[in-house]
Amino acid sequence: MVIPQHDHSLPTPAPDSPIRRRRPYHFSTQCATVENPSHKDQYGSSSVPIYQTATFKGMNGEYDYSRSGNPTRSHLEHHLAKISSARHAYAVSSGMAALDVIMRMLKPGDEVIAGDDLYGGTNRLLAYLQIHGGVIVHHVDTTDPTNLHPYIKAGKTTMVLLESPTNPLLKIVDLAIIASDVRERAPDAVIVVDNTMMSPYLQRPLELGADIVYDSGTKYLSGHHDLMAGVITCNRDDLSKKIGFMINAAGNALTPFDSFLLLRGTKTLAIRMDRQQTSAIRVAHYLHKIGFKVHYPGLADHRHRDVHDKLANGPGAVLSFETGDKDLSSRIVGSTRLWGISVSFGAVNSLISMPCVMSHASIDAKTRESRGLPEDLIRLCVGIEDSVDLIDDLEHALFEAGAITMSADGSYAVNHRPGMKQALQHLQNAAGLELDIDATQPREWLVSAPGKVILFGEHAVVHGVTAIAASVDLRCYGLVSPRKDGIISLNLPDTESFSHSWNIQNDLPWDSVTPVRRNDTHGPSLDQRLMDAIISRSLPDSILDERSSARAATVAYLYLYMILADDSVKPSCNFTARSVQPIGAGLGSSASYSTCLATSLLLAHQRISIPPLPEPTRPADPEKGYAGHTHLSHKGRRAIPQPTAEEVNRWAFIAEKVIHGNPSGVDNASAVFGGAIAFTRDGFGRKAGMVQIQGFKSVKFLLTDSKVPRNTKALVEGVAKKKHKEPEVVGKILDSIQTISEEAQRALTDPELPRLSLVSGLSSLIEENHAHLVALGVSHPSLEMIREATASAPYNLSTKLTGAGGGGCAVTLVPDDFPETSLDTLRRVLNKAGFEPYVTAVGGSGLGILSPYDHERLPTTVTPPETPTPDGSSDGSDDVGENGESLRNIFESKARDELAEWATHRGRWLYV
């Protein structure tokens, strides 16, 4: 075949004659052959030139600005499309930039299904989009395609994000089956695959049904770790237009020089991958043979090797293995010489790393543990060095670290020494400690949460102003009791004496729920489809009236129960809530309820657990090698771990959303964390978050319930409307309240401020804050009557409304030297006027859970007869209280004024 002298292109193979036809070029030939017929070099250069320029002269030309297009990058993208079986290809500045471009197609409320074993950077970006972008992400074990079925919803699922093999556990995902399932159930969803672990040489997901494929070009495509790049490929024109627009708009296209380097790297992709994969197979077999647990789809015992062989042309060059001991793994990694300690993979040089402390360290330890990512895992990324040298270096490192021992015949075997966890367990057993309970068995849980009082910043907090809030030890209590009859029930003795039960399978709208899986987070918006279904199909007639105070509490119960449930865990249980605090008085009764509800259902669904008992004080026993231990008792304080408290707080906030629509978050935070906090809501320009305020318990307050009901939602909406109508006026008020909160926070945290100055200053700030709340229109004549009574002689006390206002409660600062006789007199005056005052100190403990380890007071080994319900049937409960009597019956029948003391004496409480 003669090529004309000035035709420098290499055309697609065509028949030379009717007798002998050419075969299509093999992948390695296509890699090495970089030709683009539509972009011929004027000088016939055998290597694509670098057009190192930002702009191009002329008008109406193909190129004008390198952000929008560059000849070197065009050559690269044409080449990448060719080897990826794609119509379109784009090169950007990194693999994460590629994913970012793809994720920009999402909008708030969109749902994404993603794997549970992903690259750490992918997890980080998804978490950011959940928090700041309103995107709902469901992390699923994608190794079983049926696990995705409950989450694939037509009209709701926007994107499915997959990896196969996964990084770093080398799990295999059946991309073809999942793509087919998604097409059938949610045809508009976009299927995205991260193919970095395989590269186009070993796997081409577009041929398997994917819509978009992206690679980190930094890895195998480049092969030398001398550039950062990302590649996006697709076949659909509509997606290509969106991707191209976003790259041009964001300006993250690959530079001309990096495009040249990446194009050069792809020429040797096939030959590098062949060598790396061959060596990886040998390394994996070596580690497997001597006894390590190895994760690699090239091994015969890999769980889904048959699936991988169907999808890909080889197992790749990345593997991982477990040692059983994190410290041992660290020593192994540090003992290698030929293997470089580094993140990433795909280079010609072999690399070794510990994902949990390197590439995946951005995933918190709790999430890593729940997803089965071992802390001791070692990842090997095999290069092109001689496999004999690689294995020899690894073997020396294993031997030096003490991971393997040499037998008499000179062979090596794994040294099964117990790691730190095993050693601790051995120590516990030797000391006769019982440090855990069977969390898988249904059991009864008694929980409690305090009320709250907002001292400064109510209403304004919804608009980004800092609020100062403190817990009040007037508590709500919740009791979740297991049932055995496939029923869930809710009892609210103090709220309209409400009681109702539902058949789990038949009475709940499961067709309308998209559950939030373990370790996923609920999106910023409620699932309106589920809300509507619960209200229209699951509420009893007695609370259909929106004015029913039990209605919102019931919807919150059903919403949390259903969205926390999955196919494997739908516990049959009863939840009963009791409250010592006045309901609807502005003391955070709904947040206390939400906290108790969230805690109880998280425990029932086994989403959270209670830490084991600390080791008790024991003397040393040198003969057994036991050094002894001294236990410092904190009486249950700080016993609930911070991650558990944060998880409860997230779900309590969701319950508050169900009840109130647009809560600030400060009420549930006070109920969970206790003490006093300064809280600033996200999204208003100020630094958001919660700051604990110390030293607040000693301030005494008089809380007075006006007994006037209020509509919190309407009051909040009223301020929002006023802000919209009079933005300058309301803006100045909000700024003034922010100044008050800042002054109060400084005063309360200043240890050197004299006590008299502190109390006097707080009194002035209370007066000032109340005046601003009056200007916002949220006070009430009853609150003004309380203010007038407390401010009159001889009391002369400062009072302000707290909470939403419009009724509810007022809070009065009581100086240290205020006479008790005068306080008693004032309480009688308020009582006579129809109000109900409470004297209390604020800032106590937050969420409490009755310890399950206190077996003396809470026996769990006795199973009494089932408790009959009023109609004579059994409710399926099987937990007991004192003397074998049902704890639920005792709890529901206790008088409100006896409830706190009864709960206190049930046993040891654990607090945040």
Nearest alpha carbon to residue 476 among 567, 375, 585: 585
Written as six digits, the tokens of 615 are 């080791």
Written as six digits, the tokens of 258 are 């990096």
Distance CA 831, CA 156 (A): 55
Kind of pairing, strands 212-216 and 230-234?
A: antiparallel
The DSSP secondary-structure symbol of 637 reads T
* Burial class of residue 781, CB neighbours in 10 A (0-12, 13-18, 19+): exposed
Measured CA distances, 799 to 154, 197, 277, 469, 748 (Å) = 54, 65, 75, 15, 18
Residue-wise DSSP of 365-418: HHHHHHTT--TT-EEEE--SS-HHHHHHHHHHHHHHHTSEEE-TTS-EEE----
Helix boundaries (H) for 379-495: 387-401, 420-430
Distance CA 866, CA 874 (A): 6
The DSSP secondary-structure symbol of 699 reads -
**SS3 category, 723:** helix
Nearest alpha carbon to residue 684 among 466, 524, 463: 463
642-660 helix and 712-725 helix, angle to the nearest 10 degrees = 80
Asked if 594 and 650 touch (Cβ cutoff 8 Å), the reply is no
Written as six digits, the tokens of 298 are 């090239």
Instruction: Show Cβ contacts of residue 130 under 8 Å, excluding neighbours closer than 6 positions.
Output: 136, 137, 521, 523
Distance CA 137, CA 703 (A): 43
Measured CA distances, 460 to 11, 408, 656 (Å) = 69, 77, 18
Phi, psi torsion values for 474, nearest 5 degrees? -110, 105
Helix (H) or strand (E) holding 212: strand 212-216
Kind of pairing, strands 676-680 and 467-482?
A: antiparallel
Written as six digits, the tokens of 774 are 């009056």
Nearest alpha carbon to residue 337 among 407, 377, 392, 299: 392
The one-letter code for the residue type at 136 is: I
Distance CA 188, CA 174 (A): 20
Cβ neighbour number for residue 541 with a 10 Å cutoff: 6
Helix (DSSP H) and strand (DSSP E) numbers for the chain: 26, 27
Left if phi > 0, otherwise alpha if psi is -120 to 50, otherwise beta: which for 843? left
Query: Which residues are designated catalytic?
Result: 67, 119, 194, 219
Distance CA 172, CA 243 (A): 28
- Give me the sign of the Cα torsion angle 72, 78, 79, 84: positive
* Angle subtended at Cα 606 by Cα 604 and Cα 611, rounded to the nearest 5 degrees: 110
Burial per residue of 48-80, b for 16 or more beta-carbon CB atoms within 10 angstroms, e otherwise: bebbeeeebeeeeeebeebbebbbbbbbbbbbb
Cis peptide upstream of residue 794 (ω within 30 degrees of 0): yes
Nearest alpha carbon to residue 674 among 458, 841, 459, 451: 451
Nearest alpha carbon to residue 165 among 198, 142, 140, 199: 198
**SS3 category, 227:** coil
Distance CA 221, CA 103 (A): 22
Based on C-alpha coordinates, what's the Rg of the chain? 33
